Structure 1
């Protein structure tokens, strides 16, 4: 008998333990039980096998939250294949990079992305393109293929060391790096959530964040499946609809970013919606502003906040609701099966309260970047701790506080933006002689990217021309919200731009 110790075994075990329990609610109230979910996953595994997918092969998926997203992930896992969720906001060239880098054997995509994926898949030489739904007579879709597939022959042997997913995180060199997450990584991050967020089988989780984000996948969907709870899948976020779904389905769990929660609290239906079932709110991306805390506390609700990154699958710390006010500004304690430490510039442990680099260890921490041994080696200390590139300190009680980012990453509405990716393209614009991208505080999005540039005399460069040039080359959330022209960029003696000076000048 084949031993499936990875997440590919979860759905079959759920069918065994809770076949009649509702697993998924989607659309306008359609439901799938765990038994139906497992049968659908088996059919997807059979389809993938017919497409030549075997152990270690990459299966890419570009689509909104749907049952198919999760069926493909678990269907790939049953074959020992590697699931590659693709951000739906990426431009064609960014999609092509992901497909090429992971060597995707199959790309499954929603129909609305057909135009975007055609050239990307061609450039990446992806062998198989499959559209979700029924498809057409010339090109049958995933639903039809699943209905016609031969019976699933059974799972492939996997263990916790095998790769389960590759999640792409924007790199500081301008191209996204694929973080390899193993079956063990995803199992342990789910266990961390079950322990620290008290996930139970009677929970109903509203999934308003995209599943292609590792937080929504690793800390949202997976703990729910592990416990046999119920997910309400939403294709996108609309605050009024989210409020209606909470009331309609008796939602108990909700995850989002500060912007999500602010838009809900600002909605006209906020005060009239029955939120009495809501018990577990988690917020990531950036700290919850006091205004939002006040609005939710007025309705008897409080947040778990946390800190993490793709490389930690992604959870590293969590701040329980009971400590939201007592430890305001903190991102909490390390998750139950995870450790966090702070080191100084020499790599030695920093004293309590001393600012240094945040380092993370635990079974949820990834083994490395796909095909990038040097970047992987640089990401870990000699004793095996992941170097986050973020600065922080621990207080006397062991609570973590974030002080800044070594990598100058911008977090806008929960999306990570890495300035070098933009700076590289800004340098291609006629008339731009140098460029630096910084994050500027924004009430709605937390922070937004601004471009600070120097230009050739007489060149016609402004915000509109820059955005027009970048549009289509990058996801729209990465486009600079403002372009500032300066005589020269402040630099260190070695020639590096002093971004701290720019943030002080433009970010106040």
Structure 2
């Protein structure tokens, strides 16, 4: 039997570094690699007793915790597919994810029971389990794992081509699509990070970003565990607590988005916190503004920046700290095991400096969209490159610069917002005739969504009423921060909204 999937990682770490601290969580509780592997084995046995087998979807709705990682590796052990669910989604969005992947089991934090309770019966998996101890009316993961026979069976044979996870990303059609990431995808993206970010076994990485985001999972947790380093798992992000954790645990690695780093630098404890152990800062989501670079460089710190997407697991490029100023505005060079090119409208390689569509290839690029053969075919070129939908250009040294987004995606505080999803819901509001959603620069969040709408004569439509109507139907970060009423939306001859004109008018 050959084991090449991520399901054997914890067992191999138990062999190589059993007493090394793998996880730190809560108020300093530690988990060694032996303890992590033993826990994964018990959860794996519990999943088997629930009837989970090869190809079944195991959904997880919860904040960062040891249980998150236990379930992911346990699902991989039994040949199942792990489906991390964004905790910020509204119940209808959660229901769509569960129904689309056909989850056999949903494991969720007790605090999110309210969201789970209102998910429609058609989307509810056969088994719903809470993390920790359960109760009379609901089984608990800790109880099931304790009662299961961890030695009953070993890992299911898996290869790099087998699906390991389905990570949902909003699409331009307005419905979330599940990107199928294989065991190979997750292995190679971790290797890319080990090479390009110099991850070593003595590193201590602070995980303040949600693990349900593929960047935190694929480029944060997995490389650390692959190398046998230590992961400090934080349930959420609080700037003051994060600074305290850096000092307390001698954190060497930190990942986030520009908003994360801005909030840390703005905190009163920033100047007095000992940051001497920090050596590796990675930032994604959008370019790091000069004011943030200045604040960190004043403390002797610099960034690795990058570009990617869920479909690349997610890393595509990385800009090393040494080039942060020399190539300011660039997202760097392709990762070691990844290829990036820019093509013109005819699909030919663009010349140096010429703006075109960014395309990505490599063993970290996903297998396709779950259940969407047509969308998968459209996502790839005839020669197998993934079409990112983003615009950019390469300079003479091969460094990539992002010019714009074909898909008009908005990135707000590291969260992706696709206008089509919000526009569909705006169109359902009484009085709204047509709507366009654009990203407007925001000092704190990078971008925030604005809705530009035309309304029926006499209708009352404003920001408060729109947000109230959409609240609970989509995640709160997707709610328009402002609603602007115009006489008409600028359109092309074919009827498409000219969003570039709207951005020029309202985004400045």
Q: Would you say same fold, with TM above 0.5?
A: yes
Question: Which residue matches 1:127?
Answer: 126
Q: What is the aligned partner in structure 1 of residue 2 from structure 2?
A: 3
Gaps of 5+ in 1: none
Indicate the residue corresponding to 1:105 in structure 2. Answer: 104
Match of residue 22 from structure 2: 23
- Quote how far apart the aligned CAs of 1:121 are: 5.9
2:343 match:
343
TM-score where L is the length of structure 1: 0.99
Please name the residue that 2:436 is paired with.
436
Could you list the per-position Cα deviations for residues 104-138 of structure 1 after superposition, in whole angstroms to 9, with x for gaps in the alignment?
00000000110101232623141000000111134
2:52 is aligned to: 53
Does the CA-based 8 Å contact 2:128-2:138 persist in structure 1?
no
The C-alpha deviation readout for 1:83-117, integer Å capped at 9, x for no partner, is: 00000000000000000000000000000110101
Q: Secondary structure at the match of 1:331?
A: strand
**1:284 aligns to what?**
284
Residue equivalent to 2:320: 320
| Match of residue 115 from structure 1 | 114
Q: Distance in 2 between matches of 1:9 and 1:183?
A: 11
Q: Which residue of 1 aligns with 2:390?
A: 390
Hey, what's the Cα distance between the residues in 1 that align with 2:503 and 2:82? 38
Measure, in 2, the Cα distance between the counterparts of 1:465 and 1:60. Answer: 34
C-alpha distance in structure 1 between counterparts of 2:139 and 2:419, whole Å = 41
Shift of residue 434, structure 1, vs aligned partner: 0.3
Residue 476 of structure 1 is matched in structure 2 by: 476
| Cα separation, 1, equivalents of 2:410 and 2:215 | 17
My pick for the range that moved more, 124-133 or 187-196, is 124-133
SS of the residue 2:79 aligns to: coil
Name the TM-score, length of structure 2 as normaliser. 0.99
Q: Secondary structure at the match of 1:89?
A: coil
In structure 2, the residue matched to 1:332 is 332
Q: Cα–Cα, structure 1 residues 491 and 157, in superposed 2: closer, same or farther, change >3 Å?
A: same
The answer to whether residue 234 in structure 2 is matched with residue 216 in structure 1 is no
Partner in structure 2 of residue 84 of structure 1: 83
Supply the distance in 2 between the matched residues of 1:120 and 1:68 (Cα, whole angstroms).
22
Q: Any residues of structure 2 matched to 1:265-284 within 5 Å, and which?
A: 265-284=265-284
| Post-superposition CA distance 1:200-253 (Å, at most 9, x none) | 000000000000000000000000000000000001000000000000000000
Q: Distance in 1 between matches of 2:120 and 2:210?
A: 22
Look up the SS of the partner of 2:31 in the other structure. Answer: strand
The answer to whether the Cα contact below 8 Å between 1:342 and 1:356 also exists between their aligned partners in 2 is: yes
CA contact (8 A) 2:392 2:401 kept: yes
Aligned in 2, Cα 1:33/1:320: closer, same or farther, shift over 3 Å? Answer: same
Question: How many Å separate the matches in 2 of 1:60 and 1:137?
Answer: 22
Give structure 1 regions of 4+ aligned residues with deviation exceeding 4 angstroms: none
1:452 and 2:452 equivalent?
yes
Deviation at 1:296, TM superposition (A): 0.3
Change (3 A) 1:212 1:14: same
Aligned to 2:161: 161
For residues 124 and 206 of structure 2, what CA distance do their matches in structure 1 show? 37
Contact 1:306 1:316 in 2 (8 A): yes
- 5 Å-filtered alignment, 1:294-313, equals 294-313=294-313
**Deviation of the 1:4 alpha carbon:** 1.5
Is the CA contact 2:259–2:444 (under 8 Å) kept in the aligned structure 1?
A: yes
2:261 aligned with 1:261: yes
Cα deviations by residue, 1:402-445 (Å, 9 ceiling, x for unpaired):
00000000000000000000000000000000000000000000
- Answer whether contact 1:3 1:156 (CA < 8 A) is retained: no
What CA deviation, in whole Å up to 9, does each residue of 1:42-62 have, x standing for no partner?
A: 000001001110011000000
Equivalent residues of 2:204, 2:231 under 8 A apart: yes
- Contact 1:109 1:131 survives alignment (8 Å): yes
Structure-1 residue corresponding to 2:92: 93
Cα separation, 2, equivalents of 1:416 and 1:360: 19
Provide, for residues 49-82 of structure 1, a one-character-per-residue CA deviation record: whole Å limited to 9, x for no partner: 0111001100000000000000000000001100
Distance in structure 1 (CA, Å) of the matches to 2:397 and 2:492: 38
Corresponding pairs, count: 507
Contact 1:99 1:121 in 2 (8 A): no
Q: For residues 174 and 402 of structure 2, what CA distance do their matches in structure 1 show?
A: 24
Q: Which deviations, in whole Å up to 9, do the C-alpha atoms of 1:274-317 show, x marking residues without a partner?
A: 00000000000000000000000000000000000000000000
Please say if residues 81 and 164 of structure 1, whose CA atoms lie closer than 8 Å, have aligned partners that are also in contact.
yes
Q: Distance in 1 between matches of 2:137 and 2:462?
A: 47
**How far apart are the structure 2 equivalents of 1:117 and 1:111?**
10
Question: How far apart in 1 are the matches of 2:32 and 2:12?
Answer: 13
Work out whether residues 391 and 406 of structure 1, in 8 Å CA contact, stay in contact via their aligned partners in 2: yes
Structure-2 separation of matches of 1:400 and 1:151:
48
Distance 1:455 1:256 in 2: 39
C-alpha separation in 1, matches of 2:154 and 2:493: 62
CA distance in 1, matches of 2:27, 2:249: 11
Q: Tell whether the 8 Å contact from 2:44 to 2:150 is kept in structure 1 after alignment.
A: no
8 Å contact from structure 1 (residues 209, 255) kept in 2? yes
